Amino acid sequence: MNYEFFIAKRIIGSKAYKSSISAPIIKIGIAAIAIGIVVMMIAIATGIGLQQKIRDKVVAFNGHVTITNFDSNNSQESIVPISKDQEFYPEFNTVEGIAHIQAVASKFGIIRTETDFEGVYLKGVGADYNWNYFEAFLLEGKLPDYSGKRNEDILISQYLANRLKLKLNETLQMVFRKDDPVKPPNIITYRIVGIYNSGFQDFDANYLVGDMRHLQRINGWEDDQVGNFEVFIDDYDEIDRKGIEIYQNIPSVLNAETITNKFSSIFDWIQIFDTNIYGIIGIMILVAGINMITALLVLILERTQMIGILKALGSNNWSIRKLFLYNASYLIFLGLLWGNIIGLGLLFAQKYFKLFPLDPSVYYVTEAPVYLSFGYVLGLNVGTLILCLLMLLVPSYIITKISPVKAIRFE
């Protein structure tokens, strides 16, 4: 029989315990644990969720690694073509962990309507284009199909459609300049077959998606010439290593750049979320631990006579400390229980009902994203329990300083 656990259960179950002087402080301690778990859970879920959402949106428009020509062109426009006749295309077999590779091109043009105009890039894609990401972004219509004959179907963002007062199945004219300024520009009439919203305004405001064969014709390229290649990998955590491997397995005249380098300002910004998460976890555990220390000290003070009697009956100091640690563990478990109920409830509500919107011009998403994983929820609970108990070992040492004679006389 674990008599420390038995006595702790009797103390917890007694009516006097629930109506004692320490009851309000105990409730504050439980509330501190619950609030701490809620805040930590929200910080992790939204922090990781925001990182993944932003990362996926950058990947949707660029792939994980971009293969381009070595040139001094810093714009998004494809200037010098690359031949599709490469060993790494259409299957990148020399590097493991490559999910997909696709050929694309882009060219700057001006959308012209009866009342407005807007300068944007047309991203030309072909039959090999991976539409998986855009399926999640699609609001109206359908995704264009470029596997057959060359066509004028395009995918436009909701941002541009609203700005130019365009709707699904309407047409628009896009004007492309030629390298020779003497020659008249190319004008193509496109039909809107789909409207998407990625929530990433930097891209939504600047890109249409259309048939790459139009750009090949305008630029005077051959059918096997493209602007660049976009490579998708299986594991994002391997992006830096895969970027190096890809660079080492392509011709020396080509360059491979990861999105973490190409959009370093964005990825440096979202990496700050990790620091914020660790800071919040540290502060919440410290606050919860201090509150539990206070509650434990009050419990010890309230049970001083009982401590004296137990010592007089032969209990050692560690045995009595275990008794109070069992008591504190019960309070921590209560706090964890309520914290998980409230925290998971809020996260599921946000995940499915989008209760808290965000400004896409600042956060690149339209609502606070939520990442839910059993692993981090379990780790957070176990970690909080262990750290709080370790913090309680120090104040429980005061029990060793209590004299049985003085404790029994204590009023």
For residue 258, tell me if it sits in a domain: no
Cα dist. 273→47, 237, 243, 322, 358 in Å? 6, 16, 24, 39, 16
DSSP structural state of residue 399 = G
191 and 284 part of one domain: no
DSSP structural state of residue 17 = H
Cα dist. 162→66, 116, 119, 196, 314 in Å? 31, 12, 15, 12, 81
For residue 95, tell me if it sits in a domain: yes
Residue 179 has pLDDT above 80, yes or no: no
Quick count: other Cβ atoms within 10 Å of Cβ 330? 16
Cα dist. 85→10, 90, 91, 275 in Å? 79, 9, 12, 45
Q: What is the mean pLDDT of residues 18-41?
A: 84
Residue where one domain finishes, among candidates 252, 282, 317: 252
Quick count: other Cβ atoms within 10 Å of Cβ 87? 11
Instruction: Determine the longest span between alpha carbons in the chain, in angstroms.
Output: 107
Instruction: Provide the pLDDT confidence category of residue 12 given band limits of 50, 70 and 90.
Output: confident
Closest CA to 155 of 141, 173, 175, 165: 141
Tokens standing for 128?
């090999």
Instruction: Provide the pLDDT confidence category of residue 234 given band limits of 50, 70 and 90.
Output: very high
For residue 156, tell me if it sits in a domain: yes
Instruction: Provide the pLDDT confidence category of residue 117 given band limits of 50, 70 and 90.
Output: confident
247 and 106 part of one domain: yes
- CA dist 22 and 2 (Å) reads 25
Residue 144 has pLDDT above 90, yes or no: yes
For residue 52, tell me if it sits in a domain: yes
Q: What is the mean pLDDT of residues 261-286?
A: 90
Q: Where are the alpha helices (DSSP H) in 98-141?
A: 132-137
Q: What is the pLDDT of residue 16?
A: 55
118 and 239 part of one domain: yes
Q: What is the mean pLDDT of residues 27-40?
A: 92
Q: What is the pLDDT of residue 230?
A: 95
Q: What is the pLDDT of residue 18?
A: 57
Please name the helix (run of DSSP H) or strand (run of DSSP E) that holds residue 209, with its range, or none: strand 207-211
For 124, list phi and psi in degrees, rounded to 5.
-85, 130
Residue 264 has pLDDT above 70, yes or no: yes
133 and 245 part of one domain: yes
Quick count: other Cβ atoms within 10 Å of Cβ 391? 18
pLDDT digits (tens, 9 = 90+) for 208-226: 999 999 999 998 899 899 9
**Contact status, residue 37 vs residue 339, Cβ threshold 8 Å:** yes
Question: Environment class of residue 295 by beta-carbon count within 10 Å: exposed (0-12), middle (13-18) or buried (19+)?
Answer: buried
Please name the helix (run of DSSP H) or strand (run of DSSP E) that holds residue 322, with its range, or none: helix 317-353
pLDDT digits (tens, 9 = 90+) for 181-194: 777 888 999 999 99
Residue where one domain finishes, among candidates 202, 222, 252: 252
> Of 36-50, 64-78, 126-140, 184-198, where does mean pLDDT reach its minimum?
64-78
- CA dist 113 and 173 (Å) reads 7
- CA dist 280 and 390 (Å) reads 19
> Of 73-77, 139-143, 161-165, where does mean pLDDT reach its minimum?
73-77
For residue 235, tell me if it sits in a domain: yes
Instruction: Provide the pLDDT confidence category of residue 14 given band limits of 50, 70 and 90.
Output: low
Instruction: Provide the pLDDT confidence category of residue 173 given band limits of 50, 70 and 90.
Output: very high
- Show the domain range for 328: 3-56+267-409
247 and 119 part of one domain: yes
Residue 176 has pLDDT above 70, yes or no: yes
Which own/partner pairs from 375-382 qualify as long-range (CB within 8 Å, at least 24 positions apart)?
A: 376/44, 376/48, 377/41, 377/340, 377/344, 380/37, 380/40, 380/41, 380/44, 380/281, 381/37, 381/336, 381/340
Instruction: Provide the pLDDT confidence category of residue 199 given band limits of 50, 70 and 90.
Output: confident
Structurally, the chain folds into a number of domains equal to 2
Instruction: Provide the pLDDT confidence category of residue 13 given band limits of 50, 70 and 90.
Output: low
Q: What is the pLDDT of residue 43?
A: 94
Closest CA to 232 of 107, 94, 56, 83: 56
For residue 214, tell me if it sits in a domain: yes
222 and 111 part of one domain: yes
Residue where one domain finishes, among candidates 223, 252, 281: 252
280 and 404 part of one domain: yes
Closest CA to 78 of 182, 214, 187: 214
Q: What is the pLDDT of residue 406?
A: 64
50 and 75 part of one domain: no
- CA dist 318 and 315 (Å) reads 8
DSSP structural state of residue 402 = -
**Contact status, residue 302 vs residue 21, Cβ threshold 8 Å:** yes
For residue 381, tell me if it sits in a domain: yes
Mean pLDDT rounded to a whole number for the chain: 88
Give me the count of residues in the chain. 411
Q: Are strands 186-196 and 153-157 parallel, antiparallel or unpaired?
A: parallel
pLDDT digits (tens, 9 = 90+) for 358-382: 887 778 788 888 999 999 999 999 9
Q: What is the mean pLDDT of residues 230-239?
A: 94
Give every CB contact of residue 229 below 8 A, 6+ residues apart in sequence: 63, 66, 67, 68, 82, 86, 88, 89, 101, 102, 103, 104
284 and 185 part of one domain: no
Q: What is the pLDDT of residue 10?
A: 74
Q: What is the pLDDT of residue 210?
A: 95
For residue 100, tell me if it sits in a domain: yes
49 and 102 part of one domain: no
The residue that leads in pLDDT, 237 or 2, is: 237
303 and 203 part of one domain: no
Residue 335 has pLDDT above 70, yes or no: yes
290 and 384 part of one domain: yes
